[in-house]
Amino acid sequence: MIHRNLLLFRGARYLWWSLVLLIGSGVLYATQGNVQPPNGGTWQGYVLGSIGALLILWLTFLGVRKRSYKTTMGSVQGWTSAHVYLGTALLIIATLHAGFQVGWNLHTLAYALMIVVIFSGFFGLYSYLNNPVLISKNREGGSRAELFAELFELDKESRSVSQKCAPEVGIAVASSIERTTLGGGVYAQLFSGDESLYVRGTGAPVRNIDQQGVIDFVAERLPRAQKGIEAANLQHLIVLLCRRQAVLRRIRRDIRLRGWLKMWLYFHIPVTFALLFALTAHIVSTFVYW
Amino acid sequence: MEALLRELHQGPDGIAEYRDTEISGAELTIGSGTDQRIQLLGTAVAPEHAVIRKSGSKLDLSCRGGKRVRVNGEERSSAHLEIGDVIELAGHQLTIAEPPGGFDIAIELRPNENIDASEFESAFRTDLGQTWLSKRPAAWLLVAIVLIVGVVLPITVIVMHRAERELPAWVPGDEFWNSGPLSPAHQQAAGVRCDTCHKEPFVRVQDDTCMSCHKTIHDHVSPEHLALTQLGPTQRCATCHREHNEPASFLVNSSDAMCVDCHAKSNEKFAQLHVEPVSGFSAKHHPEFKAWLLKPNVPPPQTSPASGGGQGGGEFEWKTEIAALDKAVEQSNVKFSHNQHLDPDRVLRRGDSQPLNCADCHRLEPDGEHFEPITMENRCAECHELTFDPGAPDRQLPHGKPREVVLTLQDYFTRKFSDPNAGRPTRERRRLPGREEEEQTCTGAPFDCAMRSAHAEIENQFTRRGCVGCHMVVDTKSDSDFDRFQVYPIRFARDYFPAGRFDHRSHQIQGKLTGDAACLSCHKAKESQDSKDLMLPAMGKCEECHGDRPAVERVAVQCVSCHSYHPQLTVAVEAPES
C-alpha cells in the first residue's frame, strides 16, 4: 500500500534524518539567549534561517522531480517520504528561527504562508492515507466510469419502463433523470450537495434529494395499480430507481472522497509560490535594513 | 418551438432503427448534461454546449462561451441553420430536415456509436478541476499580493523617503519590513522612517548614526589607549545594543561573554595597558577589589603670614592612591571612632536619647550608591558644639577658619575685659588639668589681660579641648597666635570603587538583615576604633550571595551589574572639603 511505503519508506529513513536535523536545530536554538533573546538575527538564527530556506527550496523541488521521469535522483516515493518528514521538520526549524516572535510584518507573512503550506500538506497526507482505501471500498473494486455506465444504463431502462406506466409516472421519472445533479461546484463536490428535482404531476419541479422523492412518488402508485402488468411495471421501476439511488450515492461519495483527496493541493501549490516570493522578499528586506 | 428529434440507430441485425421524440420548449439545448433537450455524450461535449433558437422564421445556432461545433464541415461558434445543414459534434451528426406539419424544426440525429456509456461522466462536473478552483491563477494572485504589499510598496516608500518626498499618512510605509518592535525611545525618535537609522540599503547601522543623537556617550577605550593594544577597532554599537527584538525593552546585550572575550586575555592583548585579567566573578576569575583612596601630601609646616594660616601652611595636595584592601589605610585626617559613636553607653542621639544609627550620619544620595558628604555643619554640629566659655554658652567658634577662631577669641576677651557693664571684668578663667575651673585674677591693663586670656584659650582650643578633638593640629611654635597652629584639612573619598557600581539601596535588605544590621554585615563599624580603618568588604563578602552564573541561593551578577561599559564622567574621588 502506497501510504505505508510513503511514511515507512526504507525504515522511515527520512524520519531519522528529520529528527537529527531537529535535534541539531534545538541545540542551536538553546545556545542563544545569553546574548540576546532568541531571534532570527543571531548567528544561530541565521543558520536556522538558512536551513529553513534551503528546505523550502528543496521541498518545492518535489514538484519538479515529480514531473521529470527520466531522472535517476531517487524514486518519487522516496522524495515524497522525505518531503513529508522534512516539511514537518521545517515547521519547527522556522519557528525556532523566528524565536517565537511574530508581528504584523512581511516576515510573519512568510511564516504564515509556510504554515498554510505545511498544514495543507498535513491534510493532504491524511487524505492520502485515508481516502484511497475509502474510495476503493466505495467503488467495490470498480472504476468511476463503470459506475457512470451503470447509471447510464439504469437511466435508459428507467425511462423505457416508465414510458409503460401512467403518464405522470413517466414525467416524474424522466424529469428526475433529467434533473439529477451530480458534483457541480466546489461545495457540491466536497459536501455531496444534491440539487436534484423531479416533476410531481403538474407544476414546478420539487426537491428530489437522494432520489427519495421520485421513489416515494412511484411507490405510492403501487397499491392503486389496477392491472397486474401495471403493478409489475411499477415494481420493476421501483427496483430500477432504488438501484439508481444506490449508484448515485456511490458516485456522490466517490466525488466527495476524490474532491477531498485533491482539495488540499489548491492551497498547497499556490501558497507555495506565494511563499517562495515572500521568502525572497523576507531575506532581501532583512539585508536592506541590516 | 416544437421540434421533432429522430434518432437513428444501427439495430443488432444491421437494420436501421429510429426513434422519434417530440420536444417543445423555448429553445433546443444541446450538451452532455442530463437536463439538455438533446443529450450528446462524449468528453468533447460540454454539459451545456450549444443552443438552437427560432428567431422569426429562421433557426439560429449559437455555442456557449468558447465552445464550437462543425457546421457543414466548418468550425463555427454560431450559424444560421438551413434545411440540409449538418452539425457535427464529437462524432455525433445532427442533420436539419424539413419539419413535418406542426413542427418548427426536425432534426435527424446519428449518435456516435463509438461513444462508450462510461463517457456519460462528462455530463457532470465531477472533478475540482472543472470548478472555479485553479492552482495557477491562485498562485499568480497570491504572488502578486505578496509582491505588491511586501516588495513594491515598501520600496516605493523607501525611494520616496530618500527623495525627501512627503507621503500621505495613510500609506502603510516600509514598516511592513519591520522585523520587531523598537524600544519606545527609539520608536519615538524614528517614527515610521526606517531610514532614520538605516541610512544606506544593505549597510548595517553605523555608529555615527547612533552618535548623532547620543552625543555624550564615551567609548569604552579611548583611541589613544586602544592604539597601544593589539585590539582591533572597538565593536559597533549594535554589537551590544540590539534593536527590533522582543521584548522591546531589551536593548543591551548584558552577557559576560562580550567583556570576557577581551578581558580574559588582557595580559596578551592589552600590551602596555596594565589591566588584570577577568573571566568571571569569583576569587579565581576576578582580581580582588582595590580601593581608591585619597592620600594627603603633607606640606612642611610654614610660618609665613601670607599662608593665611590654618591650612597647614602650604597647600595640601590630595592624590589618589590605589591600594589593596588589606593594606589600605584611610588618611582622611579625621579623628573618629565608629566604635565609640555606635556604643549606646557612650553616645546617644540628641533629642530622643536613642543609640545612633548608621543613617544618622550616612544619608544615601538619590543615586542609591553614594552618600551625602559628611561635614561638620551638617552632621557633627548637631552634637558637637564649638562653645568655649561655659559662661557664654551662646558663643561658638567659627568652624574651618583657624584665623577667625583666633580673632573671635581675641575679640571675645577684649570685650569681656573692657566692657564696664560686664560682671567681674578683672577675672579670667583658666582651665587647669585636674580642675574643672579656676578663676584667676588679672591685675594688668584690660587689653593685656584680654590678650593673655585669649592666648591661653587659643592654645587650649588647638591643643587640648576644641579643634584637636577631631583634627590633627601641628604646633609650629610660632610666636604669632595666627601662625602657630596648623590644622590638617579633612577629606573623605566619595567613591572607593569608582570603576564599580554598587547599589546601596538594593542592599539595605539582605536576606533577613535590615537596617543597621545590613550595613554592619559588610562594614565592620562597631569594631573600628580608628578612622584609619577602611571597613570595606572584600570580594569574598559579595560571593556569599552572588555568583557569575545562576545557582541555588546565589543571585547571578554579570559584568555590567557592577561595571559600566561606557566610562562615566568621573565624579568619583574628589569630594568637597570638610
Distance from CA of A22 to the nearest CA of B (A): 24
Query: Same domain, yes or no, for A11 and A119?
Result: yes
pLDDT at B425: 45
- Enumerate the residues of chain B whose CB falls inside 8 A of the CB of residue A281: 146-147, 150-151
Distance from CA of B187 to the nearest CA of A (A): 16
Q: How many domains, chain B?
A: 1
Task: Dump pLDDT digits (tens) for A106-147.
Answer: 999 999 999 999 999 999 999 988 888 899 999 887 888 889
Nearest-by-Cβ selection for A183 from B126, B143, B177: B126
Residue B497 lies in a domain: no
Q: Taking CB atoms and an 8 Å cut-off, how many pairs form between chains A and B?
A: 164
> How far, in Å, CA of B562 to CA of B548, rounded?
12
pLDDT at B431: 52
Residue B515 lies in a domain: no
Torsion of CA A174, A178, A180, A185, to 10 degrees: -170
- B178–A266 C-beta distance less than 8 A: no
Joined grid coordinates for residue B54: 427560432
Is the model's pLDDT at B438 over the cut of 80? no
Nearest-by-Cβ selection for B142 from A104, A151, A271: A271
Task: Dump pLDDT digits (tens) for B244-267.
Answer: 887 766 778 778 888 888 898 888
Q: From edge to edge, which strands make up the β-sheet containing B50-55?
A: B38-39, B28-31, B50-55, B58-63, B78-81
Query: Same domain, yes or no, for A198 and A120?
Result: no
pLDDT at B23: 83
% of chain A surpassing 90 pLDDT: 53
Domain that holds residue A191: 144-259
Q: Contact B330/B531 with Cβ under 8 angstroms?
A: yes
Query: Same domain, yes or no, for A7 and A132?
Result: yes
- B35–A277 C-beta distance less than 8 A: no
Q: Contact B60/B81 with Cβ under 8 angstroms?
A: yes
Distance from CA of B141 to the nearest CA of A (A): 9
The answer to whether residue A60 neighbours chain B at the CB level (below 8 Å) is no
**Cα-based angle A111, A112, A118 (whole degrees, multiple of 5):** 90
Neighbours of B397 (CB within 10 A): 20
Q: How many domains, chain A?
A: 2
Nearest-by-Cβ selection for A274 from B127, B142, B202: B142
Dihedrals phi, psi of B87, to nearest 5 degrees: -105, 130
> When comparing pLDDT for A37 and A111, which is higher?
A111
Residue type at position B100: P
Residue B455 lies in a domain: no
Beta bridge partners of B556: B547
Query: Same domain, yes or no, for A88 and A22?
Result: yes
Task: Dump pLDDT digits (tens) for A79-112.
Answer: 888 899 999 999 999 999 998 888 888 999 999 9
* Cα-to-chain-centroid distance, residue B557: 17
Query: Same domain, yes or no, for A26 and A135?
Result: yes
The CATH number for B56's domain is: 2.60.200.20
**Cα-based angle B190, A37, B173 (whole degrees, multiple of 5):** 30
pLDDT at B12: 65
Mutate to test the interface with A, among B21, B22, B125, B192 (most CBs of A within 10 A): B125
- A263–B128 C-beta distance less than 8 A: yes
Over residues A231-243, mean pLDDT: 93
pLDDT at B265: 87
Element (H, E) at A258: helix A228-263
| Chain A from 166 to 225: CB within 8 A of any B CB | 177-186, 189
Give CA separation, B163 vs B159, B200, B209, in Å. Answer: 6, 13, 19
Mutate to test the interface with B, among A106, A171, A187 (most CBs of B within 10 A): A106
Distance from CA of A149 to the nearest CA of B (A): 4
pLDDT at A34: 66
Over residues B357-385, mean pLDDT: 92
Element (H, E) at B321: strand B317-324
Dihedrals phi, psi of B312, to nearest 5 degrees: 70, 25
pLDDT at A203: 81
pLDDT at B249: 65
Neighbours of B257 (CB within 10 A): 12
Is the model's pLDDT at A26 over the cut of 70? yes
The lowest-confidence range among B30-44, B147-161, B304-318, B473-487 is B304-318
Residue B249 lies in a domain: no
Joined grid coordinates for residue B528: 573600628
% of chain B surpassing 90 pLDDT: 25
Task: Dump pLDDT digits (tens) for B510-568.
Answer: 888 999 999 999 999 999 999 999 999 999 999 999 998 888 888 889 898 898 888 76
Residue B12 lies in a domain: yes
> When comparing pLDDT for A32 and B17, which is higher?
A32
Query: Same domain, yes or no, for A193 and A63?
Result: no
- Enumerate the residues of chain A whose CB falls inside 8 A of the CB of residue B125: 183-185, 189
The lowest-confidence range among B42-56, B160-174, B435-449, B493-507 is B435-449
- A37–B246 C-beta distance less than 8 A: yes
Domain that holds residue B71: 2-130
Burial status of residue A130 (CB atoms within 10 A of its CB: 0-12, 13-18, 19 or more): middle
- A39–B126 C-beta distance less than 8 A: no
Beta bridge partners of B76: B69
Residue B81 lies in a domain: yes
Query: Same domain, yes or no, for A130 and A185?
Result: no
Over residues B369-385, mean pLDDT: 91
> How far, in Å, CA of B334 to CA of B332, rounded?
5
Task: Dump pLDDT digits (tens) for B127-182.
Answer: 888 888 888 999 999 999 999 988 998 888 888 888 888 878 777 777 888 888 88
Distance from CA of A93 to the nearest CA of B (A): 18
Query: Same domain, yes or no, for A176 and A247?
Result: yes
Query: Same domain, yes or no, for A91 and A18?
Result: yes
Query: Same domain, yes or no, for A72 and A100?
Result: yes
- B134–A180 C-beta distance less than 8 A: no
- A35–B257 C-beta distance less than 8 A: yes
- Enumerate the residues of chain A whose CB falls inside 8 A of the CB of residue B124: 181-184
Cα Rg for chain B, rounded, in angstroms?
53
Q: Contact A204/A219 with Cβ under 8 angstroms?
A: no
> How far, in Å, CA of B311 to CA of B309, rounded?
6
Closest residue in A to B149 (Cα) is A106
> How far, in Å, CA of A47 to CA of A31, rounded?
12
- Enumerate the residues of chain B whose CB falls inside 8 A of the CB of residue A214: none
Query: Same domain, yes or no, for A81 and A220?
Result: no
> How far, in Å, CA of B130 to CA of B128, rounded?
5
pLDDT at A5: 65
The answer to whether residue B154 neighbours chain A at the CB level (below 8 Å) is yes
Question: For every residue of B77-136, which 3-state class applies, written as one string?
Answer: CEEEECCCCEEEECCEEEEEECCCCCCCEEEEEECCCCCCHHHHHHHCECCHHHCCCCHH
Query: Same domain, yes or no, for A164 and A252?
Result: yes
pLDDT at B64: 87
The lowest-confidence range among A16-20, A210-214, B32-36 is B32-36
pLDDT at B577: 45
> How far, in Å, CA of A271 to CA of A283, rounded?
18
pLDDT at B124: 84
- Enumerate the residues of chain B whose CB falls inside 8 A of the CB of residue A46: none
Residue B107 lies in a domain: yes
Nearest-by-Cβ selection for B143 from A35, A149, A273: A273
Size of chain B, expressed as the number of residues it contains: 578
> How far, in Å, CA of A38 to CA of B246, rounded?
9
Q: Which residues contact A28 (CB under 8 A, 6 or more apart)?
A: A44, A47, A48, A96
Residue B56 lies in a domain: yes
- Which range in A242-251, B3-12, B147-156 is most confidently predicted, on average pLDDT? A242-251
Nearest-by-Cβ selection for A39 from B126, B205, B245: B245
| Chain B from 228 to 247: CB within 8 A of any A CB | 242, 244-247
What is chain B's mean pLDDT, rounded?
Answer: 84
- Which range in A138-142, A244-248, B268-272 is most confidently predicted, on average pLDDT? A244-248
Q: Which residues contact B436 (CB under 8 A, 6 or more apart)?
A: none
- B154–A103 C-beta distance less than 8 A: no
The answer to whether residue B258 neighbours chain A at the CB level (below 8 Å) is yes
pLDDT at A74: 73
Joined grid coordinates for residue A156: 435508459
Question: For every residue of B434-456, which 3-state class applies, written as one string?
Answer: CEEEEEEECCCCHHHHHHHHHHH
- Enumerate the residues of chain B whose CB falls inside 8 A of the CB of residue A266: 128, 133-135, 138
Task: Dump pLDDT digits (tens) for B273-331.
Answer: 888 899 999 888 999 999 999 988 877 665 544 444 444 445 778 888 899 988 889 98
Element (H, E) at B341: helix B338-341
Residue type at position A124: G
Joined grid coordinates for residue A194: 444534491
Beta bridge partners of B435: B432
Size of chain A, expressed as the number of residues it contains: 290
